[in-house]
Amino acid sequence: MRFLFKTHYNQDIDHLKHGGDRFWYGLLLVLVAAAPAALGTFYLGELNLVMIYAIAGVGLMLLVGYTGQVSLGHAAFLAIGAYTHSLLLGAGLPFLLSIAAAVLVTALVGAGVGWIALRMTGIYLAIATLAFAMLTEQTISRAEWLTGGFRGLAVPQASLFGIPLTQGWQHYYVTLALLVVTLLAALNILRSSTGRALVAIRDSEISAESVGINVAVYKTLAFALSAGITGLAGALFAHRLGYLSPDAFTFLISLQLLLMVVVGGVGSMRGVIFGALFIGFLPQLLAIARDTLPAQIAQAPGLEPGIFGLILVLVILFEPQGIFGRWLKIKSYFQMFPLYRRATHRRQKTYLRTERLR
Amino acid sequence: MSYLAVEDLSISFGGIRAVDDVSFAVDEGEVFAIIGPNGAGKTTLFNLVSGIYFPDGGRVRFAGRDITSLPAHRIAPLGLARTFQNIELFEHATVLQNLLIGRHVHRRSTALSHLLFLPAVRREELEHRRRVEDVIDLLELAHYREQTIANLPYGVRKVVEVGRALCLEPKLLLLDEPTSGLNPEESEDMGFWIEDINRDLGVTVVMVAHDMGLVSRVAGRVLALNEGRVIAEGSPVEVQKDPAVVDAYLGAD
């Protein structure tokens, strides 16, 4: 077991708490940086998709895991990011500038949605965001003069500092760099008073108000941040798709994003990465499983969404903390061996709360 | 000019006048207790003062400012902090994080600088942490610093809530039943802390209490409410003997 001897408050503020953290995260960075040399084009592309999912997941996690606001409409933010980026790129804006503009536009839309949905929580918020996603999908398919509707929109070739991005590994490094930046920004928010205000709203709006947190402002901010980050993922997703059409951003995508956050582990940024790996590689596993299953089951329509839904239900029932929670339990089992008790992680009783004030 | 002045405050829920023309004044530096049987309107009165409810009539003045129509998040930065009867902590955060959230009104940096975590933000965080540690020392919470609220016993949660309110560095502290659900030993500690907070930190305290032992020990003046109306005001001894108060608690004849 590791015992930390703390001598400065900075040790609680720093992202990497001790030598072990620095070693393992350094190793991880080296491994993902070296991945293009070891992986084939197909798996590199899949890993790129996983990282795009992870960026969107960071955005959704800020909203769902840290602010406690559910969204079933994040596919819409992904779509807005993708379309804005493609259109601006087509209009001749440089790659990075176009991405920044896509993030900004999506964040503004997100702030608008957040502001409208201020008074809604739980299931009502989920329905409102779902409605927003459908509205966005419809708007994109009808506004043919701008988006090309169902005829689609070709995503222009991107180039960074004059070098055209044509190879898979080039996109991989762009995504990796942006994922690292996004993660750092999100973690920075979380270790400052803004992030604490979000957590406060998640756990008790009434007390957040009474310690001076303007709940309306911070909820809107959370939506804006979450949407902006998802818009960034959307812009990268556009290059992965190559050709945008409204049916690339259906309800199933929103559900996958939410599934990623829940399966990974609500309330943890590491959970996002686990969740993204899960979501990214599940279709591959299903494809492999299809080959071995009898044809009646393997060819059944709706198999994928069905399995996604089933996993969501099972995770919520049996491991509400997701893969990350399971990881923590396994870790403490080995740390405390042979003294680990199951009760260590049992959820404690919650006491009466002033429900009527909400 | 009194520090906290409540004038003819009223609010109705449906047909019930939960608070009915209540007036009282609290001077700077005193410990003021509000007592009354269940349903007397004590907590509602707190919710009106701290901006969670808005009154149907009457006014609340704090430090010379009319705060009647200000929402709770605008009142807190003026130096008014409160606790809740049924404990409203941030359950899935640690004690340290809860206390740091209490420092929200003292933040100076913007969300944009938090995104980049500029050196100024780090300096501010260190400053918050030092202030929070002072509160941890005062309330002897060091042992629980890294624990999640959901894992803490009830008595400790009560103390953490007072700690979070203190992190606002308030001038006026509203305590809603600080000793309810505590065992005699914990109640006694709470009494000492209330005295310390009042004397050493110079915080004016207004508390709702059921525990007359605590009230007579720490409170200078007492206000008794029943069915939303003031029935007595004065020193603890006077109020306890007041026939209207005895009636309210025990029933007339």
Contact A117, A129 (CB under 8 A): yes
Residue B96 lies in domain: 89-169
Cβ-defined contact of B73 to A357 (cutoff 8 Å)? no
Strand pairing class (B31-35; B221-226): parallel
B84 with A188: Cβ contact below 8 A: no
Peptide bond into A338 cis (omega under 30): yes
> For residues B85 and A356, what is the distance between their CA atoms, to the nearest angstrom?
13
Strand ranges inside B27-79, DSSP E: 31-35, 57-62, 65-66
> In chain B, which residues have their Cβ closer than 8 Å to the Cβ of A348?
150-151
Provide the pLDDT for residue A7.
84
Average pLDDT, chain A: 87
Three-class secondary structure assignment of B163-178: HHHHHCCCCEEEEECC
A interface test, pick of B80, B90, B98 with most A CB neighbours within 10 Å = B90
The answer on B205 and B248 residing in a single domain is yes
Q: Are residues B236 and B118 in the same domain?
A: no
What distance in Å separates residue B225's CA from the closest CA in chain A?
A: 21
pLDDT of B201: 93
8 Å CB contact of A13 and B47: no
In tens, the pLDDT along B70-87 reads: 999 999 999 999 999 888
- pLDDT at residue A277, rounded to an integer: 92
* pLDDT value of residue B107: 92
Task: Give strand pairing partners of B22.
Answer: B9
Please state, as a whole number, how many other Cβ atoms lie within 10 Å of the Cβ of residue B143.
10
Nearest to A353 among B77, B88, B100 (CB): B88
B31 and B74 fall within a common domain: yes
Of B90, B100, B105, the CB nearest to A203: B90
Please state the φ and ψ torsions of residue A266, each to the nearest 5 degrees. Answer: -60, 135
Q: Is residue A142 part of a domain?
A: yes
CA distance A20 to A42: 33
Identify the pLDDT of residue A311. 84
User: Total domain count for chain A?
Assistant: 1
- Reported ipTM: the value is 0.91
Q: Which residue has the higher pLDDT, A200 or A305?
A: A200
Chain A residue with CA closest to B50: the answer is A210
Domain count of the fold of chain B: 2
Q: Are residues B22 and B2 in the same domain?
A: yes
Last residue of a domain, one of B169, B202, B228: B169
Q: Please tell me the pTM assigned to this model.
A: 0.90
C-alpha Rg value of chain B to the nearest Å: 19
User: CA of B97: which chain A residue's CA is closest?
Assistant: A196
Q: Distance, in angstroms, between A349 CA and closest chain B CA?
A: 7
- pLDDT tens digit string along A209-232? 999 999 999 999 999 999 999 999
Based on the fold, state whether residues B228 and B214 are members of the same structural domain: yes
Chain A residues touching B151 at Cβ < 8 A? 348
Contact A154, A243 (CB under 8 A): yes
Does A254 fall in a domain?
A: yes
Question: What does the DSSP assignment read for A23-89?
Answer: HHHHHHHHHHHHHHHHS-HHHHHHHHHHHHHHHHHHHHHIIIIIS----S-HHHHHHHHHHHHHHHH
Q: Is the pLDDT of residue A352 over 60?
A: no
Whole-number pLDDT of residue B219 = 93
- CATH number of the domain at A81, please: 1.10.3470
Q: Is pLDDT at A338 greater than 90 in this prediction?
A: no
Q: Which two tokens stand for residue B90?
A: 């941030």
**Distances from the Cα of A13 to the Cαs of A208, B102, B111, in angstroms?**
22, 17, 17
Q: What is the pLDDT of residue A348?
A: 52
Q: What is the percentage of chain B residues whose pLDDT exceeds 90?
A: 79
Q: Which residues from B are below 8 Å from A209, CB to CB?
A: 51-52, 71-73, 76
Among A177, A72, A173, A188, CA closest to A130: A72
Residues B58 and B105 in one domain: no
- Taking the C-alpha atoms of A140, A145, A151 and A154 in order, what is their torsion angle to the nearest 10 degrees? -90
State yes or no: pLDDT of B198 exceeds 80: yes
- Taking only the tens place, the pLDDT of each residue in A71-102 is 999 999 999 999 999 999 988 888 999 999 99
A37 touches chain B (CB under 8 A): no
User: Residues of A with CB below 8 A from B126's CB?
Assistant: 9-10, 13
Chain-chain contact of B102 with A10 (C-beta, under 8 angstroms)? no
Contacts of B114 in chain A (CB under 8 A): 188-189, 192-195
**Alpha-carbon distance A191 to nearest alpha carbon in chain B (angstroms):** 8
Torsional sign, CA A61, A64, A68, A73: positive
B67 plus B95 within the same structural domain: no
Q: Is residue A133 part of a domain?
A: yes
Q: Which of B90, B101, B116 sits opposite A188 (nearest CB)?
A: B116
Residue A201: closest C-alpha in chain B: B90
DSSP letter at A161 equals T
- What is the reported pLDDT for A340? 75
Residues B132 and B182 in one domain: no
3-state secondary structure at position B197: helix
Of B107, B142, B169, the last residue of a domain is B169
Question: Angle between the A41-61 and A74-90 helix axes, to the nearest 10 degrees?
Answer: 120
Which of the given ranges, A225-234, A275-284, A305-314, has the highest pLDDT on average?
A: A225-234
Question: Which pLDDT does position A355 carry in this prediction?
Answer: 45
User: Do both B193 and B235 map to the same domain?
Assistant: yes
Q: Which residues make Cβ contacts (< 8 Å) with residue A3, sequence separation at least 6?
A: none
Judge whether residue A162 has pLDDT over 80: no
Give yes or no: residues B182 and B249 share one domain.
Answer: yes
Q: What average pLDDT does the segment A306-315 reach? A: 84
**Same structural domain for residues B138 and B180?**
no
Q: Which residue do the tokens 């760099």 mark?
A: A177
Nearest CA in chain B to A191: B114
Place of tokens 């499983």: A289
Q: Over 70: is that where the pLDDT of A287 sits? A: yes
- Name the residue among A221, A255, A271, A265 with its Cα closest to residue A118: A221
Residue B18 covered by a domain: yes
CA distance B221 to A59: 52
Tokens of A171: 């996109």
For residues A227 and A220, the answer to whether their CB atoms sit within 8 Å is no
Instruction: Evaluate whether residue B84 is within a structural domain.
Output: no
B166: closest chain A residue by CA? A211
Helices (H), chain A: 10-13, 19-38, 41-61, 74-90, 95-116, 122-142, 144-147, 168-190, 193-203, 205-210, 215-241, 251-264, 269-292, 295-298, 303-318, 322-336
Provide the CB-side half-sphere exposure for B73 (13 A, CA).
17
Residue with the bigger pLDDT between B47 and A350: it is: B47
Q: Nearest-CA residue of chain A relative to B133?
A: A9
Task: Residue B241: give its domain's CATH number.
Answer: 3.40.50.300
pLDDT tens per residue across span A4-32: 788 888 888 888 888 888 899 999 999 98
B202 and B241 inside one domain: yes
Band (A358; pLDDT cuts 50, 70, 90): very low
In chain A, what's the furthest Cα-to-Cα distance?
Answer: 67
Task: Name residue, tokens 């969300």.
Answer: B111
* Single residue among B125, B140, B169 that ends a domain in this structure: B169
In this predicted model, what pLDDT tens digit does every residue of B151-190 receive, in sequence order? 888 999 999 999 999 999 999 999 999 998 899 999 999 9
Write phi, then psi, for A288 (nearest 5 degrees): -70, -40
Structure tokens of B173?
């502290």
**Which domain does A205 fall in, by range?**
39-345
Chain A / chain B CB contacts < 8 angstroms: 132
Q: Is B40 in contact with B227 (CB distance < 8 Å)?
A: yes
For residues B170-201, one letter each, b for 16 or more C-beta atoms within 10 angstroms of the residue's C-beta and e for the rest, the string is bbbbbbbbbbbbbeeebbebbbebbeebbeeb
Q: Give yes or no for A348 touching B (CB within 8 A).
A: yes
